Amino acid sequence: MAGGTWHNVSSGDCIASIAFEHGHFPDTIWQHAENASLKSTRKDPNVLLDGDRVFVPDLEEGPVSCATEKKHRFERKAVPAKLRVQLVFDGKARANIPFTLVVDGSPIDGTTDGSGWVDIGIPPSARRGVLKLRPPGADEEVFQLQLGGLDPIDTVQGQKARLQNLAFYRGDVDPSVTPEYSDAIRTFQKAHGITVTGEADAQTQDKLKQEHQS
């Protein structure tokens, strides 16, 4: 086995944040042969489960030619992650609305696009953010964002999180199968023409992932 260490995934981790922590590009870790099984299981480098194990190879050192008796400046290449979220109300995209995103204390101003999307680079290590939406002629709206905390679609907590983001579910995002969760599944299935069972079968999971776009 190549030199390296195993990283135990905790809530909020993704390949981008793990790579950033260890000085790698995300693809260096995600495409590594030792992570082939994880890649086959999870498929999405941004959606890992608490307890997953990720192999992190040792950094490779290489020579750099520099003139002696001079100062030299070395810069680490930026590896931004992406925050991509669509804002919809009552089935209509919230298009062309000014916003401020605050991540790690730094504000970033922008405007949602014509389909209501916020698409912006953020630090891979970011865990929380605040999105302030300023609709013209209306009060400011504030949304608390948990970044990098989405569990896989084949877990109950992953399904709950997506249902919650799509306004089908209100409640705790945990692994327990509750009446509220089953009702949310039924409502989602009915809304999308899926046989109503209250259980997240493969068709329901695929549609939920498609609608959530992750």
Whether the predicted pLDDT of 41 surpasses 70: yes
State pTM to two decimals: 0.66
The CATH classification of domain 156-212, taken from the options 3.90.1310, 1.10.10, 1.10.1740, 1.10.101:
1.10.101
Q: For 67-125, how does the pLDDT look when each residue is reduced to its tens digit (9 = 90+)?
A: 666 675 655 555 667 888 888 888 889 999 999 999 888 899 999 999 999 998 888 87
Domain positions in the chain are 4-57, 81-146, 156-212
Q: What class does CATH assign to 81-146?
A: mainly beta
pLDDT, residue 65, reads: 64
Distances (CA, A) of 212 to 164, 194, 207: 10, 16, 8
pLDDT, residue 155, reads: 94
Architecture of the domain made up of 4-57: Roll (3.10)
